[in-house]
C-alpha cells in the first residue's frame, strides 16, 4: 500500500488545485517547485560552513555550494559531489539545500552541490558537460577546498542521479581516477521510458508520464538522442569497472523499474551495487522530510553508505 503520509500528501496536492508542471512554462515550473519545498522540507540544519563557489565553463560560469559539517581540522576531508533533481529543467541549489546539509551532517563529509545549466535554454548534453566539468574542477581544486581528491563520491536524485551515473561512466572511459561511490537516488537511466513502471505508476503519484514527457521534450527534443548512453546510462555497452553504487528507488515511482534495471545491469557486469526500494513511497520523497518519515530514514541510509565508502 501507499505510505499513509504519502497518500495524505497526494490528497493535499490535489486539493490545492495547483497545476502540474507540464502545464506550466519552464520559468513558472521553476518558481512553483521552489515554493513547494517550503511545505515539505524541514528548516535547514546549521552546518559549520556554507560557501558559495563559482567555476568557469564555456560561455559562462557555474555556481556550486560547499557544505562543511565540522570545523576544519587542517586535514583534507572526503567529499560528495551532488547533482540536484528536477528533470534537467527545474531545481537549483536552494531546492536541495536541506538535503545537502543533512547528507553532510550525517555522513561527516563535505558536500558540494552543483548548479548545472538547465533545459530548454541549455539542452542535452550541456548538463552532462557541466556535471563532468564540475567533478573535475572539485578534484583539481581539492587543495583550496580542503578536499581529499582520492576520497570523492558522486551522487544525485532523479535527473541528478542520471548525471552522477553518466559522470562515473565518462571518468572510467577517460581512464581517470574514479569516485569511490555512486549515490543514485531514483535515477533516470533510460530516456526511452519503456520500463513497466512507466505504465503502472504513470498517473496519480506526483510524477506522471505527462510531466516526464514535458521534461524530456525540454532536455532532449530529438528522439534519436534518447538512446545515447550519455542520456540513458542503462544503454552503455559496458557497465563494468565502475565505482560501487547505491541505488535507491520508490515503489510508486514511474522510474522505479529502470533504477532496478540499472542496479541489476551493474551487478551483471561485476560492478558492486546495492539496491533498496522504499516500496510505499513516491518519486521525490527523499527531499520531503518535513512530511514523510521515511524520507529521513532514506537520507540517513544514504549518508551512512557515503560515510563508509569515503572513510580513509
pLDDT tens for 129-171 read: 999 999 999 999 999 999 999 999 999 999 999 999 999 999 9
**What HEC string does 157-223 produce?**
ECHHHHHHHHHHHHHHHCCCCCCCCEEEECCCCCCCCCCCHHHHCCCCCCCCHHHHHHHHHHHCCCH
Could you tell me the sign of the dihedral formed by the alpha carbons of 167, 191, 233, 302, in that order?
positive
What band does 312 get if pLDDT is binned at 50, 70 and 90? confident
115 labelled catalytic: no
Helix/strand/coil for 37: helix
Superfamily of domain 4-310 in CATH is: Alpha/Beta hydrolase fold, catalytic domain (3.40.50.1820)
Q: Catalytic residue among 3, 107, 115, 158, which?
A: 158
Take residue 138 and report the three cell numbers written for it: 572539485
199-236 residue pLDDT tens = 999 999 999 999 999 999 999 999 999 999 999 999 99
Following DSSP, what letter does each residue of 106-134 receive, concatenated? HHTSEEEEEE---TTTS-TTHHHHHHHHH
264 labelled catalytic: no
Question: In this structure, what are the phi and psi dihedrals at residue 304, rounded to the nearest 5 degrees?
Answer: -70, -35
Q: Catalytic residue among 3, 97, 157, 253, which?
A: 253
210 labelled catalytic: no
pLDDT at 72 over 80: no
- Calculate mean pLDDT across residues 44-64: 95
pLDDT at 71 over 90: no
Largest CA distance in the chain: 52
102-117 residue pLDDT tens = 999 999 999 999 999 9
Q: How many CB atoms lie within 10 A of CB 148?
A: 19
DSSP state of 229: T
What band does 75 get if pLDDT is binned at 50, 70 and 90? confident
Q: Is pTM, for the whole model, over 0.95?
A: yes
Q: How many CB atoms lie within 10 A of CB 272?
A: 13
Residue 40 CA to residue 158 CA, distance in Å, equals 17
Q: Catalytic residue among 122, 198, 218, 283, which?
A: 283
What percent of the chain has pLDDT above 70? Answer: 100
What band does 58 get if pLDDT is binned at 50, 70 and 90? confident
Amino acid at each position: 500500500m501507499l505510505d499513509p503520509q504519502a497518500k495524505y500528501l497526494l490528497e493535499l496536492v490535489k486539493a490545492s488545485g495547483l497545476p502540474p508542471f507540464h502545464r506550466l512554462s519552464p520559468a513558472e515550473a521553476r518558481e512553483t517547485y521552489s515554493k513547494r519545498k517550503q511545505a515539505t522540507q524541514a528548516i535547514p540544519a546549521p552546518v559549520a560552513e556554507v560557501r558559495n563557489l563559482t567555476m568557469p565553463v564555456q560561455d559562462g560560469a557555474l555556481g556550486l555550494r560547499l557544505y562543511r559539517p565540522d570545523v576544519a581540522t587542517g586535514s583534507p576531508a572526503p567529499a560528495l559531489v551532488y547533482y540536484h533533481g528536477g528533470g534537467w529543467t527545474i531545481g537549483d541549489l536552494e531546492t536541495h539545500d536541506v538535503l545537502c546539509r543533512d547528507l553532510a551532517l550525517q555522513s561527516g563529509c563535505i558536500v558540494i552541490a552543483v548548479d548545472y545549466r538547465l533545459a530548454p535554454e541549455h539542452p542535452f548534453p550541456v548538463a552532462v558537460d557541466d556535471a563532468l566539468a564540475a567533478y573535475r574542477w572539485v578534484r583539481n581544486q581539492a587543495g583550496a577546498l580542503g578536499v581529499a581528491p582520492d576520497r570523492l563520491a558522486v551522487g544525485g536524485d532523479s535527473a541528478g542521479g542520471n548525471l552522477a551515473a553518466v559522470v562515473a561512466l565518462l571518468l572510467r572511459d577517460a581512464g581517470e581516477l574514479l569516485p569511490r561511490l555512486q549515490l543514485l537516488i531514483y535515477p533516470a537511466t533510460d530516456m526511452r521510458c519503456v520500463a513497466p513502471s512507466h505504465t503502472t505508476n504513470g498517473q496519480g503519484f506526483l510524477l506522471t508520464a505527462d510531466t516526464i514527457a514535458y521534461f524530456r521534450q525540454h532536455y532532449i527534443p530529438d528522439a534519436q538522442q534518447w538512446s545515447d548512453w550519455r542520456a540513458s546510462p542503462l544503454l552503455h555497452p559496458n557497465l563494468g569497472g565502475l565505482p560501487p553504487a547505491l541505488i535507491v528507488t520508490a515503489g510508486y515511482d514511474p522510474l522505479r523499474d529502470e533504477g532496478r534495471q540499472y542496479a541489476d545491469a551493474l551487478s551483471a557486469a561485476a560492478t558492486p551495487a546495492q539496491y533498496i526500494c522504499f516500496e510505499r513511497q513516491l518519486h521525490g520523497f527523499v527531499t520531503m522530510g518535513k512530511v514523510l518519515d521515511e524520507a529521513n530514514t532514506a537520507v540517513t541510509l544514504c549518508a551512512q553508505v557515503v560515510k563508509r565508502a569515503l572513510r580513509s
